[in-house]
């Protein structure tokens, strides 16, 4: 083989192949590609994410194609649940996984399994309709369904991310059960709760991480115990520094509440009422909302908050209608990150009377500014994609760590 052909071959060889289960808008996939992987496909039943996923994530190795967006429900079809599409999804994966493993036979396969976190949040069941409640209960079994795909395709690397509290017994032990199934399949596993701010992500966001590798493939220094069952899970990236809100978003141009920037994609801020404009005008970066009781506009606090505070004799909901601290990482970015009434989502710059824009929220999740969320003219759908995403840097770090562990 000529030197030129060797260089081409080296340049097109990925560090790993990957399938991204529950891919959403592609946060995990972006991290996997940035880590040198080739993503064969993303799987998600939310068709609204398809364009964002495929447009932003062209592979950089093998055939340079975009990952396939496989719009399937991973549950099997049944009389009780006729919408299941496990058979159809399996047929697709049976086609594509062997095809790409044949192209790069020495490259490991990674399954990213980051199931939706809604079933493991503290939202009260009484707030859910019967249909949504049944959907939540079914979604709580997503990890066990995904484990069946691990058993079938035997990836060398498994990465899973979810909310910090997923191990709580009230969620039925789904995290521990998933781990036990992987161990029964011959994998060594490790799990830990980490904070994204320790991985160069400008956000305080605690997440549970689970990694798994077949025991016989693990490098000895990656074991946390002498019997070779527990994997070490890093709690920080030694090469990363803490990134503040200011460092992450100060480069973005100023806009007003309700405005969309003409040239920066997704740099769009939610409209504010006159009352909320007065509130955010009175807020100072990093402070609680105690300011609302005494402003130049009078008492701007909410009646419902006053009643709860009086009843409990303690101030509650102190982060709503407040501004971020410019020199610290942001609070957790949620699907309501565009709304100052849902958390500390006011822009730190007192000259800007608004909540953070969708573009700024994406930056605080570690998405690059050229990662465009569709439809660009809407707020709510994009906010859901951003808030539900796995931070690309977090996925990229742990994918690289796994690739170096075999």
pLDDT in tens, 113-129: 999 865 555 544 456 55
Residues 6+ away with beta carbon under 8 Å from 68: 40, 41, 42, 92, 96
pLDDT at 194: 98
pLDDT, residue 223, reads 96
Segment 357-361 shows an average pLDDT of 98
Average pLDDT score, the chain: 92
Q: What pLDDT does 255 receive?
A: 98
Average pLDDT value for residue range 58-85: 96
- What would the pLDDT profile of 323-349 be if each residue is shown by its tens digit? 999 999 999 999 999 999 999 999 999
Of 165 and 186, more confident: 186
pLDDT at 20: 98
Average pLDDT over residues 296-321: 82
Q: What is the pLDDT of residues 209-234, one digit of tens each?
A: 999 999 999 999 999 988 888 999 99
Model pTM score: 0.92
Task: Tell me the C-alpha distance between 297 and 248, whole Å.
Answer: 32
Does the pLDDT value for residue 52 go beyond 90? yes
CATH no. for 3-240+391-403: 3.40.50.150
Structure confidence at residue 129 (pLDDT): 57
Taking residues 157-176, report their average pLDDT.
Answer: 91
pLDDT at 132: 54
Residue 140 pLDDT more than 80? no
**Which one has a higher pLDDT value, 138 or 392?**
392
Kindly state the percentage of the chain with pLDDT values over 70.
91
- Write the secondary structure of the chain as one string of H (helix), E (strand) and C (coil): CCHHHHHHHHHCCCCCEEEEECCCCCHHHHHHHHCCCEEEEEECCCHHHHHHHHHCCCCCCCCCCCCEEECCCCCCCCCCCCCCCHHHHHHHHHHHHHHHHHHCCCCCEEEEECCCCHHHCCCCHHHCCHHHHHHHHHHCCHHHHHHHHHHHHCCCEEEEEEEHHHHCHHHCCHHHHHHHHHHHCCEEEEEEEEEHHHHCCCECCEEEEEEEEEHHHCCHHHECCCCCCEECCCCCCCCCCCCCHHHHHCCCCCCCCCCECCCCCCCECCCCCHHHHHHHHHCCECCCHHHHHCECCECCCCHHHHHHHHHHCCCCCCCCCCECCCCCCECCCCCCCCCHHHCCCECCCCCCCCECCHHHHHHHCCCCCCCCCCCCCCCHHHHHHHHHCCCHHHHHHHHHHHHCCC
Q: What is the pLDDT of residue 309?
A: 73
Per-residue confidence band for 8, with pLDDT thresholds at 50, 70 and 90: very low
Higher-scoring residue by pLDDT: 124, 365: 365
- Does pLDDT of 248 surpass 90? yes
pLDDT for 119 equals: 55
Least confidently predicted of 74-88, 113-127, 216-230, 385-399: 113-127
What's the pLDDT at 9?
46
Residue 253 pLDDT > 80, yes or no?
yes
Report whether pLDDT(399) > 60: yes
The domains of the chain are located at: 3-240+391-403
Amino acid 117: pLDDT: 67
Mean pLDDT to the nearest integer, 154-171: 92
Mean pLDDT value across residues 243-249? 98
């Amino acid at each position: 083989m000529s030197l030129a052909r060797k260089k081409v071959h080296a340049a097109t060889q990925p560090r790993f192949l990957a399938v991204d289960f529950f891919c959403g808008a592609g946060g995990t996939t972006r991290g996997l590609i940035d880590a040198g992987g080739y993503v064969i496909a993303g799987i998600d039943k939310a068709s609204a994410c398809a364009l964002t996923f495929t447009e932003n994530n062209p592979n950089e190795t093998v055939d340079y194609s975009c990952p396939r967006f496989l719009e399937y429900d991973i549950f099997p079809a049944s009389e009780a649940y006729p919408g299941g599409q496990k058979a159809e999804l399996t047929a697709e994966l049976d086609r594509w996984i062997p095809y790409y493993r044949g192209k790069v036979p020495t490259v490991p396969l990674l399954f990213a399994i980051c199931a939706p976190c809604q079933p493991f949040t503290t939202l009260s069941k009484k707030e859910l309709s019967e249909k949504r409640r049944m959907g939540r209960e079914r979604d709580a079994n997503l990890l066990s369904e995904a484990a069946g795909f691990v058993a079938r395709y035997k990836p060398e690397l498994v990465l899973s991310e979810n909310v910090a509290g997923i191990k709580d017994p009230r969620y039925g032990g789904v995290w521990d059960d998933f781990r036990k199934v992987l161990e029964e399949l011959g994998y060594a596993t490790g799990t830990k709760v980490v904070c994204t701010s320790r991985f160069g992500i400008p956000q305080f966001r605690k997440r549970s991480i689970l990694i798994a590798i077949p025991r016989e493939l693990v490098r000895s220094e990656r074991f946390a115990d002498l019997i070779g069952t527990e994997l070490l899970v890093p709690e920080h990236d030694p090469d990363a520094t803490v990134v503040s809100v200011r460092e992450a978003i100060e480069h973005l141009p100023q806009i007003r509440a309700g405005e969309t920037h003409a040239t920066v994609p997704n740099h769009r801020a939610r409209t504010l009422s006159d009352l909320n404009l007065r509130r955010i005008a009175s807020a100072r970066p990093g402070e609680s909302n105690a300011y609302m009781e005494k402003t130049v506009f009078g008492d701007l606090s909410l009646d419902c908050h006053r009643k709860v505070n009086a009843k409990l004799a303690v101030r509650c909901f102190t982060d709503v209608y407040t501004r971020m601290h410019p020199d610290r990482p942001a609070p957790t970015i949620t699907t309501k990150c565009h709304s100052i009434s849902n958390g500390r989502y006011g822009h730190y710059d007192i000259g800007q009377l608004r909540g953070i824009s969708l573009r700024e929220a994406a930056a605080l999740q570690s998405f690059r500014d050229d990662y465009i969320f569709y439809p660009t003219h809407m707020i709510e759908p994009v906010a859901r994609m951003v808030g539900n995403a796995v931070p690309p840097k977090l996925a990229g770090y742990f994918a690289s760590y796994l690739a170096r562990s075999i």
